[in-house]
Amino acid sequence: MSFENHSGELSTVWYMRQLDGTIRYTDLGYKTYQAFFERAGTNIDGNSTVTEHEASLVQALDIAKGGR
């Protein structure tokens, strides 16, 4: 894996921000988050912005900690 042209943000490993403000998950990001979000009842394909990604992440982490 090469990080040669990344922006310096770790998020570029998981997704790329498009010019229109949407995100596209990298292969690694999709594989990493898909099952995690799915366990929390969130469909990764519904995340098209950084805000949606972060909301899914908060929900998944809360459920993983035993919350609902």
Q: What is the DSSP string of 11-60?
A: HHHHEEE-TTS-EEE-HHHHHHHHHHHHHTT--GGG--SHHHHHHHHHHH
How do the domains of the chain map onto residue ranges?
A: 11-64
Residue 51's pLDDT is what? 94
Identify the three-state secondary structure at position 65.
Answer: coil
How does pLDDT run along the chain (68 residues), one tens digit per residue? 444 444 556 577 899 999 998 999 999 999 999 999 998 888 999 999 999 999 999 999 999 888 65
3-state secondary structure of 3: coil
Q: Which pTM was predicted?
A: 0.76
Question: What element of type H or E holds 64?
Answer: helix 50-64
> Mapping DSSP to helix (H, G, I), strand (E, B) and coil, where does residue 6 land?
coil
